[in-house]
């Protein structure tokens, strides 16, 4: 295996998951690249997380009342899971089908929605859209509970077409009206009142008496359509496949323009998008063949450092390297802090700002959020006793010459590839500290801070902030 092979596999694990520690990467890399892809696509091959551990140390997780704690537990899953693509797909669907706490104020439905994305996120587009249409959190978020046969509410029907499946320009206002009529009677069961025992889950309800069963015309087809018929028709449209594939490209390959511009902005790589659409259409909306095609493609392999890490990726990926927030939390490792850390960088899980979700790419970074991102990454390596940092020290060997320090640390932190300007700045620090002796416990303790400072400089670089 060449160094380039290792770098390519690291790239795959960053995009299809949340990165890997060096020991994890080397263990996984015993397999060929294509076999790693297949493992990612088949999470059932690996044992799921036992949440009993984290619940023992966070008994408040037994209740649904606090969404930041449960969002933090979700990041804990990202850090520890042996099924990284499963969690990455849940995050992907949460990105493009967002619902928010600030409207519902009902954590149980949000928690259930994420669990559904985790369970069915690798299935097929029809199943995922149908899950979404029956989801109580989405139902309330877009007011389909107010969509009645005698007084249709178009909010869900509109956003289903505009933001969740086809995109602007591929349907008419009449299609929206008839989609809304088809989803009348799709509502949810009101949960048990909050007091005195906390919040309870809700579930989908189909009220036949409140459904408009009359004839409707939708995307050129006519019939007595129900909601599932609408989903079926949507999933057969090439426009839907293109819209969804642009989402996949943006999330897994390369930053694209924001979604609201897609009706006027062509894809940056139209050939790649067209080939993805062909795969999705040929496989009738199945997600695994599409992802297999993406991960094995040249356009994916060549897209290193062309995506700004979203805050959740940055938090989970950096903590994975340190070895903190493991299966059994240590003192002071509060799950809620994971949520709040990503939030101050602009991504509050389970609480996106609008129905559009988050604006991504360069919009993740401004004067304030960049400071938060860099400070967070740097602060993780203030503690030189973490398992991850101690592993780096061990792998550096007994002595590190100044002219090798940068490349060795970049390799152990990724491998990470940096530009000439960045490398020169790191070289300046290496020259300043000189050769580093780690040959004895005493010297390792004395000189660890020099290595730690180099790691802090690396996680401050532009390249580290990109995936």
The domain limits of the chain are 124-304, 387-465
CA distances from 457 to 147, 157, 430, 432 (A): 54, 49, 11, 14
Distance (Å, whole) CA 170 – CA 166? 6
**Helix H or strand E segment including 244:** helix 238-252
User: Which three-class secondary structure string do you get for 350-408?
Assistant: CCCCCCCCCCCHHHHCCHHHHHHHHHHHHHCCCCCCCHHHHHHHHHHCCEECHHHHHHH
Short-list 91, 72, 415, CA closest to 247: 91
Both structure tokens of 29 = 């890399």
- Six-digit token string for 91: 């995050």
C-alpha 284/C-alpha 383 separation (Å) is 50
Largest Cα span, the chain: 82
CA atoms within 13 A on the CB side of 326: 11
pLDDT tens across the length of the chain (467 residues): 345 799 999 999 999 999 999 999 999 999 999 999 999 999 999 999 999 888 888 888 887 778 999 999 999 999 999 999 999 999 999 999 999 999 988 999 999 999 999 999 999 999 999 999 999 999 999 999 999 999 999 999 999 999 999 999 999 999 999 999 999 999 999 877 766 667 788 999 999 999 999 999 999 999 999 999 999 999 999 999 999 999 999 999 999 999 999 999 999 999 999 999 999 999 999 999 999 999 999 999 999 999 999 999 999 999 999 999 998 878 788 999 999 999 999 999 999 999 999 999 999 999 899 999 999 999 999 999 999 999 999 999 999 999 999 999 999 999 999 999 999 999 999 999 999 999 999 999 999 999 999 999 999 999 999 99
Q: With the C-alpha atoms ordered 278, 281, 284, 290, is the resulting torsion angle positive or negative?
A: positive
Distance (Å, whole) CA 464 – CA 467? 7
Start-to-end CA distance of the chain, whole Å, equals 22
- Mark out the alpha helices in 284-366 (DSSP H runs): 287-296, 298-301, 311-322, 335-344
Q: Does the global pTM surpass 0.75?
A: yes
Rounded to a whole number of angstroms, the CA Rg of the chain reads 24
Contacts of 333 (CB under 8 A, 6+ apart): 324, 325
In degrees and rounded to multiples of 5, residue 365 shows phi and psi of -120, 120
């Amino acid at each position: 295996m060449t160094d380039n092979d290792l770098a390519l596999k690291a790239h795959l694990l960053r995009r299809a998951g949340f990165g890997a520690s060096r020991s994890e990467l080397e263990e996984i890399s015993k397999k060929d690249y294509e076999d790693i892809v297949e493992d990612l696509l088949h999470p059932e091959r690996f044992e799921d997380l036992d949440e009993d551990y984290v619940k023992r140390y966070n008994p408040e997780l037994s209740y649904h009342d606090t969404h930041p704690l449960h969002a933090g537990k979700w990041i804990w899953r990202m850090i520890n899971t042996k099924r990284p693509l499963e969690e990455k797909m849940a995050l992907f669907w949460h990105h493009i089908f967002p619902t928010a706490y600030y409207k519902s104020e009902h954590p149980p439905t949000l928690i259930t929605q994420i669990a559904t994305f985790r369970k069915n996120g690798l299935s097929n587009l029809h199943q995922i859209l149908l899950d979404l249409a029956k989801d109580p959190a989405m139902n309330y978020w877009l007011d389909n509970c107010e969509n009645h046969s005698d007084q249709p509410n178009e909010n869900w029907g509109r956003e289903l077409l505009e933001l969740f499946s086809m995109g602007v320009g591929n349907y008419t206002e009449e299609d929206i009206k008839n989609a809304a009529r088809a989803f009348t009677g799709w509502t949810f069961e009101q949960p048990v009142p909050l007091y005195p025992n906390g919040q309870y889950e809700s579930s989908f309800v189909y009220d036949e008496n409140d459904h408009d069963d009359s004839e409707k015309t939708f995307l050129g087809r006519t019939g007595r359509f129900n909601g599932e018929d609408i989903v079926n028709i949507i999933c057969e449209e090439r426009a839907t496949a293109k819209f969804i594939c642009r989402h996949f490209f943006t999330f897994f390959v390369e930053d694209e323009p924001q979604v609201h511009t897609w009706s006027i902005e062509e894809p940056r790589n139209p050939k790649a998008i067209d080939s993805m659409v062909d795969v999705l259409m040929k496989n009738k909306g199945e997600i695994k063949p599409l992802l297999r095609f993406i991960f094995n493609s040249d356009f994916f392999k060549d897209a290193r450092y062309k995506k700004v890490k979203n805050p959740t990726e940055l938090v989970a990926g950096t903590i994975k390297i340190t070895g903190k927030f493991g299966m059994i939390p240590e003192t002071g490792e509060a799950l809620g802090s994971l949520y709040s850390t990503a939030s101050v960088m602009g991504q509050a899980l389970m609480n996106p700002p609008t129905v559009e979700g988050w604006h991504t790419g360069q919009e993740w970074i401004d004067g304030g959020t960049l400071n938060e991102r860099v400070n967070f990454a740097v602060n993780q390596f203030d503690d030189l006793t973490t398992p991850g940092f101690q592993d780096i020290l061990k792998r550096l060997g007994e002595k590190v010459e100044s002219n090798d320090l940068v490349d060795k640390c970049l390799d152990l932190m990724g491998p990470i590839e940096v530009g000439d300007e960045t490398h020169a700045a790191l070289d300046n620090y290496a020259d300043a500290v000189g050769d580093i002796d780690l040959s004895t416990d005493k010297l390792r303790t004395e000189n660890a801070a020099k290595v730690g400072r180099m790691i802090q400089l690396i996680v401050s670089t532009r390249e580290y902030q990109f995936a």
